[in-house]
């Protein structure tokens, strides 16, 4: 990963009940989901207890303006990486890849 700041949108939080306990400043794990049958560039998001909390958005309709899609980040991160929550809005959040 280069020195450029990368921001991502994480969605599907409601699917995993994650909106209850996620907080700004919290660190999350990013893991490439190579077995995902819907998206070849899927990146799953996990909390510190290894509980899945959502996915990095990869659709024009779900990626927040100013953030990168899963497809734009996939080849730029390791198999497992980390991100920091910067903003939370409704059932999605904006995080910075670290």
72 part of a folded domain: yes
pLDDT digit string, tens, across residues 4-50: 899 999 998 877 777 678 899 999 999 999 999 999 999 999 999 99
89 within a domain of the structure (yes/no): yes
What pLDDT, in 10s, does the model give residues 43-67? Answer: 999 999 999 999 999 999 999 999 9
Q: In angstroms, rounded to a whole number, what is the distance separating the alpha carbons of residues 21 and 78?
A: 26
* Alpha carbons 24 and 2: distance in angstroms, whole number: 24
What is the reported pTM?
0.91
CA-derived radius of gyration, the chain: 12
Task: Give a yes or no: residue 54 inside a domain.
Answer: yes
H helices within the chain, ranges in order? 70-73
Average pLDDT of the chain, as a whole number = 92
31 part of a folded domain: yes
* 1 assigned to some structural domain: no
Is residue 1 pLDDT above 50, yes or no?
Answer: no
- Is 46 domain-assigned? yes
């Amino acid at each position: 990963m280069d020195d450029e700041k990368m921001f991502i949108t994480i969605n599907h939080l409601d699917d995993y009940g994650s909106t209850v306990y996620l907080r700004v400043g919290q660190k999350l794990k990013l893991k490439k989901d190579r077995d995902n049958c819907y998206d070849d560039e899927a990146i799953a998001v996990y909390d510190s207890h290894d509980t899945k909390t959502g996915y990095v958005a990869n659709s024009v309709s779900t990626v927040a303006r100013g953030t990168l899609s899963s497809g734009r980040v996939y080849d730029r991160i390791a198999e497992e990486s980390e991100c920091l929550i910067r903003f939370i809005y409704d059932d999605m959040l904006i995080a910075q890849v670290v």
